[in-house]
Amino acid sequence: MNRALFFSPFLFACIAAPAQAQTIPRYNAEGYCQQVADISGGSAMIFNGCMDMEQQAYNALKPVWAQLPGNARNYCDEVARVSGGSYTILQGCIEMETEAASSPRSFDY
């Protein structure tokens, strides 16, 4: 078996991954907001408010996504996906990670 052919899909995946990380993740905002609304008894007001918040967070993140640190993008995407795929949670995580990175702590003995 030709090793170059065997490893080429793996190599392609490694090369393609950074390009995908430059694009803001795609979450199902409607599905997420429906779950949030269902928890509160199916409230249309909660659903609409959630959709507004998700849209605002997405709109704020989209133009700056590629400039954010890769480790923060990856970590916060995982956090947002665990919660059901929320741009509001993604935005909050990015803000906290960025703030934490700008003021590292030290330990004093």
- Non-local (6+) Cβ contacts of 75 within 8 A are 93, 97
Average pLDDT, the chain: 85
- What does the pLDDT look like over 25-44, one tens digit per residue? 999 999 999 999 999 899 99
Confidence at 21, pLDDT banded by 50, 70, 90: low
- What does the pLDDT look like over 63-96, one tens digit per residue? 999 999 999 999 999 999 998 999 999 999 999 9
Q: For residues 57 and 42, what is the distance between their CA atoms, to the nearest angstrom?
A: 23
Helix (H) or strand (E) holding 91: helix 87-102
Residue 3 has pLDDT above 90, yes or no: no
Residue extents of the structural domains in the chain: 27-101
- What does the pLDDT look like over 95-109, one tens digit per residue? 999 999 999 899 999
Residue 90: C-alpha distances to residues 14, 28, 38, 67, 98 (Å): 24, 13, 21, 15, 12
Q: For residues 22 and 35, what is the distance between their CA atoms, to the nearest angstrom?
A: 28
